[in-house]
Chains A and B, each alone.
Chain A
Amino acid sequence: MSVAELKERHIAATATVNSLRERLKQRRQLLLDTDVAAFAKSQGRSAISFNSTDLICCRTLQGHTGKVYSLDWTPERNRIVSASQDGRLIVWNALTSQKTHAIKLQCPWVMTCAFAPNGQSVACGGLDSACSIFNLNSQVDRDGNIPVSRILTGHKGYVYSCQYVPDQETRLITSSGDQTCVLWDVTTGQRISVFGGEFPSGHTADVLSVSINSSNSNMFVSGSCDMTARLWDTRIASRAVGTYHGHQGDVNTVKFFPDGQRFGTGSDDSTCRLYDMRTGHQLQVYSQQHEGDDNDVPIVTSIAFSISGRLLFAGYSSGDCYVWDTLMAEVVLNLGTSQNSHEARISCLGLSSDGSALCTGSWDKNLKIWAFGGHRKVI
């Protein structure tokens, strides 16, 4: 078979795949008779009403001298690690708003950071294509820096996101610009499995985000520049369990719904979406009409769900931080317009493990902790 012939057949096959995909999409569309908001409305539910004072900024964590790119909470003890463009990781005590550790990084272009489940170590990754692990208990050197305890190398592109597998100090999942996600053994520094890459069902562009299912830590979902989110089983590296289409832009962030059966995504197309993990359906789109031309739509940079799942916090490049009612798909609060709001793009946000506080990190170099300021009867 000649090369030209092969190419022809390849093109034909691609076309077939695309048409099949289109048909699948149409079928899905037919089956999708309603979305969450419409259904909830028909059931007579109404959106939560929030006062602008109900969520208030109660702490401002100042100390970074560059844009904050990422943050993560410890599962206990209310500490936060944040990564900034000034080339530092800072571990904060969220209660006193003081720094407990400041770690100067070898490579200042850091994009992500994560706290280990035991709270003893932090991981970070960035443009150096590696994921560095720091043990917070290790001895500081002469300059007061904490030495790297391990560097996970093997990615062929920048590391955009990393997350520890819950309850497993030694397992870590990273996502990278080389279109793969990798499950690492932190103690040995070896790759356990690689998701995507040369396998046909992997992402076809940079993977920007991962989120591990908290109820079944074998499952994780990844969001990518190829406008899809994919679901993976850590035990089966060879193929993605599911691919979720719908977004019209890079999927910047994915986050599992607290019940572990759904997950939310946030994208460059300025929408957040809720997907059902098992049916593969898109349950709801969370988007707002934006006035002005299309070039100015803010992108969703980061999302988080409240413990109950009723609220979806979404940070936007415009500096807004909407609180969505997931059921009614309405914005119930905008932290970007409240007092003490950030002055620049909100780059990351995270909910503390007990759900009592929300931390947002911004390009204005600050992190802010928001908590419920009002009193309200249980809904």
Chain B
Amino acid sequence: MDRRLMVVLSAAESADYSFADEYKGPPLPYDIPRAVPIDVDRIPLAAVAPASAGLPDLPVVHPLPSPSSSPLKKPPPPHATPAPPLPAASPTSVIENHAAMDRPGAEVSGALGSFGFPDRSTDLSEVVDSSGAIGFSDELGNGAAWSNEMMPNRLSTESALSSEFSFLSSASGDGDEDEAVALQAKKALLVTFQESGQSSCSMSPAVGVTPRARSEDLEMKTKKRACHRCLKGSRFTEKETCLACDAKYCSGCVLRAMGSMPEGRKCISCIGSPILESNRERLGRSSRVLKKLLSSREVQLVMKAEKDCEANQLRPEDVCVNGTKLSLEEMVLLQSCSCPPNLKPGLYWYDKVSGYWGKEGHKPDRIITPHLNVGGTLMQNASNGNTGILINGREITKVELQMLKWAGVHCAGNPHFWLNADGTYLEEGQKNVKGQIWEKPIMKLLCPVLSLPFPSKVANPSGEEVNNLFSRAVPDCFDTKALQKLLLVGHHESGTSTIFKQAKFLYSSVPFSEDEREDIKLMIQTSIYNYLAILLEGRERFEEESLDEQRDKQHLDSSGDVAFDKQNKVTEYSISPRLRAFSDWLLKIMASGNLEAIFPAATREYAPLVEELWKDSAIQATYSRRNELQSLPSYASYFLERVVDISRAEYEPSDMDILCADGINSSNGVTYADFPFPCLACVGSSIDDDDQQEALLRYQLIRVHTMGLGENCKWLGMFEDVRIVIFCVAVTDYDEYYEDANGMVRNKMIESRRIFEGIASHPTFEQMDFLLILSKIDLLEQKLDMAPLTLCDWFDDYNPVVSYHPDNKNRRGAQIGATKSQQAFHYIAVKFKRLFFSITGRKLYVAQANGLDGDSVDAALRYAKEIIKWEERLVCGIPESMYSTEPSSYSH
């Protein structure tokens, strides 16, 4: 042992390996904490150990757990170890002790963390250097640990320690503060030692301790009112208190104990737990300590977080009004009314008619806004009165009776009064107003004498608008809770944008702002040039074809006439040179993809030309053959017919134009609209409880562009909080094709299926409900006549004839005369349902819609809302309601 000590001493003497080595790394961006080099001569361990010859007399430190033991295992309880004369109870505190014994004032480099751990690759002396303290304590207990591998427990200690030391901010690490820490710090550190081994999320030693553990720990302390972390200071030092556990920290420790304060002033371990009610008044009120430590902006943000964060809010179920617990909506209502009560958890009574508010069993406390739809009915014994006189059904207290007497109310014979919010009162069962309580000016003085409330001026006399939640600013944290998100996706041109726009028209008071309209106008004008270009392209093709035909014919007619005259090169698809120049220019622009670059400037300039072009017979001839132009969208004709109007600069898109336009905004960005579903007042049924509950619910329809909806979709993870995914498929897609980036022609329906598969199997949407909207259902009927459904490979087993067979599933009571399109709709729906079931094993909901028909979109979106409600009920254990799951009951 002596030999080993010698090693320690000699190693410590060499300057290279002193405990507080000079930092040689890259320049540090932060202020370097104050330090404590080790005075070797004064290390008590080194002195004590050789002096005491009798080894058994030495205080034995419990050995550290062997490396094989799990790091989660607690080390032996610190209290069991005898402390003096070695203050060491664990390596941690030994180190701590060293630090404390040192002279203050010197610098601790950021490298102080190297106190603990032997770098196994280094030579012995370095080992000794860096882990001298640990080596000691181990040696005293059992020498075995000396040569041991690094232990999990030690590691955790070490990292906790080094985080403690190496990143002190300038605010926290005064050297002289460390001086007295040693002995007191021991216990706190020991506690954290255990904790840091246990919880991986603790950041600094004080972190892992639960509030209870800490308070117990604190009780053992001799010095009360000291900082809970550094255990220094007295009641006079300025401290900051944790709102949740009342732990107090001095200015040096606040930042480390509270971290980044995501919920305001709380210890890191208290984050997420509710605050103490006694601290509610302090919410959002800054203290001097914080102001000293942080910039004003930082303080502001901390206070904002403190006030707004959910964990710090009063929980509605803690407040009980007239015997019923509040709901979230009622709570918001109470807090946001013009004369709010001072809410704390507890039991209250509330007189809705007069606005009286008080604690259960007590006289009125204040007069708040009357007519709030909050809580249950007022009980007669709410304020525990014994006078026999009733006001609005509540037996009043003696003090109130006194007030009534002063107000000049006759109270003989225990009358029952109705007291209105404006102070007028009448006797029960009578019509005539008997008087006004508040009208005597003296009342304003007398009420405070009896410590009774007097109504404030702002009280809202009419009970009409007070219960309207939408006019109020709802706190942020409630806001997000009440927002139900619906994600609308689909392949390009599947009708998502139309459904989205239709929803905006249906539910928003201002569907589109000026800017949005301007954007849409530009979009329509750009796309009309697009359509024109497609027409012109088609024209060229037709011209070529008819020329070929002519040539062939000529070839046959005048066999081998080489002088094929140029005059004959005119077909019905030919245009004048001037228009041809324009046409070529436009096609060139299109080819280079610079169409956006020339707009909107081009609109004014080329409007006459466009008009001329449109009226040209060649274009009209081409237009009549538009069915042959695959790339021309179906709705293009809607705009092309009015191309002359639209290409004018003063064109203003109508609502219909907006609906028909391709897309929502020119940037393909995500678009979203918030709206409450208006109550179905038109149905005539009274609003049931559910709908009332939903008063606060708002829905957000989010429509994302399909761009990037590939298999590796990078951003679907952002929508994990949506309640339902609405996937749109245009039923007319089954015979439509498009060309992908590689020039491959693909069927759009198959492509929709591919995207659907991708989204349904996306890990983000593992438990998500899906609603499939089959759009453009209105176009299906006529299309089916022209092209059978079997044109699409996926639908090759479609056999509509069978559906007329009585046994077919398609034939349900109401649909004996099912139209072709309905059959096709059901067939496609089932195809998707089976696909969905094979991917997820769950049920796919299906609805149909026609984007241009507001009612059908409304129905589809309400269906989505119902699905959300069903799922909520399922979660609550209530069986699915008897709502008809109309299309989905036709199951796989």
Contact = CB atoms under 8 A, between A and B. Distances in A.
A144 interface: yes
A377 B110 CA distance: 14
A4 interface: no
A338 interface: yes
Contact of B712 (A14, A98, A102, A225): A225
A144 B304 contact: yes
A42 interface: no
B236 interface: no
Interface in B142-161: 155-156, 158-160
Contacts of B24: 377-378
B707 A178 contact: yes
B670 A107 contact: yes
B669 interface: yes
Contact of A160 (B114, B202, B714): B714
A80 to B, nearest CB: 11
A237 B259 CA distance: 46
Given A157-B707, A208-B714, A97 B162 contact: no
Contacts of B304: 102, 144
Contacts of B297: 100-101
Contact of A198 (B113, B294, B593, B718): B593
Contacts of A121: none
A224 to B, nearest CB: 11
Interface string B97-119: 00000000000011111101101
Q: What DSSP secondary structure best describes chain A's contact surface?
A: loop
Contacts of A128: 667, 669-670
Nearest to B594: A198
Given A99-B260, A340-B202, A157 B158 contact: no
A206 B708 contact: yes
Interface string B294-333: 1101101110110000000000000000000000000000
Nearest to B204: A58
Given A107-B669, A352-B29, A354-B26, A339 B710 contact: no
B200 A339 contact: yes
B30 interface: yes
A61 B298 CA distance: 13
A356 B29 contact: yes
Which interface residue of A3, A60, A69, A144 has the most chain B CB atoms within 10 A? A60
B260 to A, nearest CB: 4
Interface in B122-174: 130, 155-156, 158-160, 162-163, 166-167, 169-171
B203 interface: yes
A339 B121 contact: no
Nearest to B305: A63
B294 A96 contact: yes
A56 interface: yes
B262 interface: yes
A5 to B, nearest CB: 13
A127 B119 CA distance: 48
Given A85-B718, A198-B593, A371 B117 contact: no
Q: What DSSP secondary structure best describes chain B's contact surface?
A: loop
Contacts of B743: 7, 10-11, 14
A250 interface: yes
A318 interface: no
B198 to A, nearest CB: 11
Contacts of A289: none
B649 interface: no
A98 B667 contact: no
Nearest to A378: B24
Interface stretch (A25-33, A46-54, A257-265, A274-282): A46-54
B442 to A, nearest CB: 42
A61 B260 contact: yes
Contact of B25 (A7, A14, A94, A372): A372
A239 to B, nearest CB: 15
A74 B300 CA distance: 22
B201 interface: yes
Interface in B11-39: 21, 23-31
Interface residues of B, number: 74
A93 B298 contact: yes
Interface string A325-369: 000000000000011110100000000101111000000000000
B667 A155 contact: yes
Contacts of A63: 260-262, 305
B196 interface: yes
A92 B261 CA distance: 12
Interface in B235-274: 255, 259-262, 268, 271
B114 A158 contact: no
Contacts of B593: 197-198
Contacts of A160: 714
Contact of A130 (B109, B155, B667): B667
A205 B219 CA distance: 64
A340 B114 contact: no
A204 B741 CA distance: 8
B196 A356 contact: no
Given A96-B169, A127-B669, A158 B159 contact: no
B592 interface: yes
Which interface residue of A56, A250, A374 has the most chain B CB atoms within 10 A? A374
A15 to B, nearest CB: 12
Contacts of A375: 21, 23, 109, 111-114, 130
Contacts of A177: 707-708
A127 B201 CA distance: 32
Contact of A356 (B28, B160, B298, B717): B28
A97 B259 contact: yes
A99 B301 contact: yes
B114 A374 contact: yes
Contact of A97 (B29, B255, B271): B255
B15 to A, nearest CB: 14
A58 B166 contact: yes
Contacts of B707: 156-158, 177-178, 206
A72 interface: no
A59 interface: yes
B387 interface: no
A155 B718 CA distance: 20
A57 interface: yes
Contacts of A373: 113, 159, 162-163, 166
A53 B298 contact: no
B715 interface: yes
B301 A101 contact: yes
Given A100-B297, A130-B669, A354-B29, A49 B710 contact: no
A102 B301 contact: yes
Given A57-B203, A85-B718, A158-B715, A100 B668 contact: no
Nearest to B299: A98
A331 B116 CA distance: 24
B547 interface: no
A371 B667 contact: no
A129 interface: yes
A307 B667 CA distance: 38
Given A53-B113, A339-B196, A373-B113, A99 B298 contact: yes
A111 interface: yes
Contact of A53 (B121, B162, B741): B162
A58 B301 contact: no
Given A372-B110, A374-B111, A340 B201 contact: yes
A302 B229 CA distance: 37
Interface string B593-604: 100000000000
A214 interface: no
Contacts of A59: 167, 203, 259-260
A168 interface: no
B668 A157 contact: yes
Given A95-B29, A111-B718, 5 more contacts: A60-B203, A60-B268, A99-B305, A339-B160, A374-B117
11 contacts: A51-B117, A56-B113, A62-B271, A78-B29, A95-B29, A96-B255, A98-B302, A99-B301, A127-B715, A206-B714, A378-B24
